[in-house]
């Protein structure tokens, strides 16, 4: 049976601003909990206000590992002022740009999970370029352009340890279903086509793959 989060963790997740539906969150939690058994860190690309981070953090705490989450906190293209997914509350009035770091920190504090997460504030490819530790779990939920989603895959998928899991959000095989483009779907196809990953779970737009070989 899939591992489920405790009610207080689920409540903190549901209370947080963000873009992760509950059913997909539960699938993400189960995958992160399973991957935690490898004893390696769990990493997310795309923190936003910490909604999915709460789940990774609690799975990490249960497994005795650390969760890492990467974001420049300036928002994706579709979250900028004037775009469909913009939230005016995320704008820092002093600099006039989005800054989701304060909301993220409040989310983690309220969930009591600050001690289990390292926030990496920066551009995903730049963080990946200095990264060297094998990861038990990589969750790609960052930018939705081909440039960003492709760089997330290239930067982070090679760090997934043998037996570890790669989760990808917003995978929409049907063009009619997508809402911010099909770049995550193309990344998912690349992962399957590499021969290094095998699909283990599908839930809504969430795909979970296991690293079963070399080749990336």
Closest CA to 12 of 108, 105, 90, 119: 108
The residues in 113-172 that bind ligand SAH, with binding defined as CB under 6 A, are 123-124, 141-143, 148
CA distance 192 to 194: 6
Residue 40 or 103 having the CB closest to ligand SAH: 103
Size of interface with ligand SAH, in residues (CB under 6 A): 22
- The residues facing 202 across adjacent strands are 207
Size of interface with Mg ion, in residues (CB under 5 A): 4
Q: Is 169 a known active-site residue?
A: no
Following DSSP, what letter does each residue of 175-213 receive, concatenated?
TTT-SS-SHHHHHHHHHHHTSSEEEEEEETTEEEEEE-S
Catalytic residue among 73, 144, 148, 169: 144
Longest dimension (CA), the chain: 48
- Site track for Mg ion across 141-180, x = CB under 5 A: x---------------------------xx----------
Which residues participate in catalysis according to the annotation?
144
Residues making contact with ligand SAH (CB under 6 A)? 18-20, 46-48, 51-52, 70-76, 100, 123-124, 141-143, 148
């Amino acid at each position: 049976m899939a591992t489920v989060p405790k009610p207080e963790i689920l409540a903190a997740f549901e209370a947080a601003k963000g873009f992760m539906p509950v059913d997909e969150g539960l699938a993400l939690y189960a995958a992160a909990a399973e991957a935690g058994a490898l004893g390696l860190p769990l990493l997310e690309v795309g923190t936003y206000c910490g909604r999915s981070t709460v789940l990774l953090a609690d799975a990490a705490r249960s497994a005795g590992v650390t969760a890492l989450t990467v974001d420049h906190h300036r928002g994706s293209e579709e979250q900028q002022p004037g775009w469909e997914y913009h939230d005016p509350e995320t704008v820092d009035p002093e600099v006039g740009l989005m800054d989701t770091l304060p909301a993220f920190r409040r989310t983690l504090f309220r969930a009591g999970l600050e001690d289990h997460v390292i926030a990496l504030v920066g551009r995903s490819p730049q963080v990946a370029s200095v990264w060297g530790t094998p990861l038990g779990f990589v969750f790609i939920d960052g930018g939705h352009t081909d440039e960003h989603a492709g760089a997330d895959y290239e930067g982070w998928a090679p760090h997934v340890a043998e037996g570890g899991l790669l989760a990808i959000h917003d995978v929409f095989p049907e063009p009619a279903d997508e809402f911010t483009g099909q770049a995550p779907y193309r990344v998912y196809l690349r992962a399957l086509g590499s021969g290094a990953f095998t699909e283990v779970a599908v839930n809504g737009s969430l795909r979970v793959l296991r690293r079963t070989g070399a080749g990336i």
